[in-house]
Amino acid sequence: MFRISSYITDKINAGVRLLIDFLPQFSKGEILEALQRKRAAFPELPDGELLFGIVNNQVGRVVMKRVGGDLQQAASLVKAFPLTVTGSLGFDYAQVTKGGISMTEVTEDLESRFVKGLYFAGEILDVDGPCGGFNLQWAYSSAMRVAKALNKKD
């Protein structure tokens, strides 16, 4: 969710529908087979708990409730669970922002093409990366670039 938010946040008003595959490493047939085996092995298990241990318990419960215990439909839903995105947590909760000063408006040393002597580094530039330290790395690396350029000047 965190990672895809950067692709969909600016499209929410246009309506974004997601289809989530909760088990990308297994085919629908394999999931159905697992469910059938489980039902046969544990006939006393409530339908709502058939997906326990296969997907997140809450997801499993919702899937089974929606399909009324139909295993074929349950397997389909696990592979393509539809969700409509209704909003994002917004700027206050954002970990990184898209947009900012266009990279086309700065030199390789990150100096403004319009205002001599004005340098930019980090998130104020229109650069954002996925989770995993890429944004901090960009902040450090771009700051280093600017520092080196300033050093060269003196």
Ligand X SMILES: Cc1cc2nc3c(=O)[nH]c(=O)nc-3n(C[C@H](O)[C@H](O)[C@H](O)COP(=O)(O)OP(=O)(O)OC[C@H]3O[C@@H](n4cnc5c(N)ncnc54)[C@H](O)[C@@H]3O)c2cc1C
Contacting ligand X (CB under 6 A), which of 72, 95, 102, 141?
A: 95
Which one, 67 or 149, has the nearer CB to ligand X?
149
What SS3 state is found at 54?
coil
Q: What span, in angstroms and rounded, lies between the C-alpha atoms of 125 and 135?
A: 11
Which one, 22 or 120, has the nearer CB to ligand X?
120
111 scored as a contact of ligand X (CB under 6 A): no
CB of 106 to ligand X, least distance (A): 14
Could you tell me which residues come within 8 angstroms of residue 88 by beta carbon, excluding any fewer than 6 positions away? 5, 9, 12
Give residue 135's identity as a one-letter amino acid code.
Answer: N
User: Distance between terminal CA atoms of the chain?
Assistant: 46
Contact (Cβ atoms closer than 8 angstroms) between residue 150 and residue 126:
no
CB of 84 to ligand X, least distance (A): 27
String marking each residue 114-153 x if it binds ligand X according to CB under 6 A = --------xxx--------xxxx--x--------------
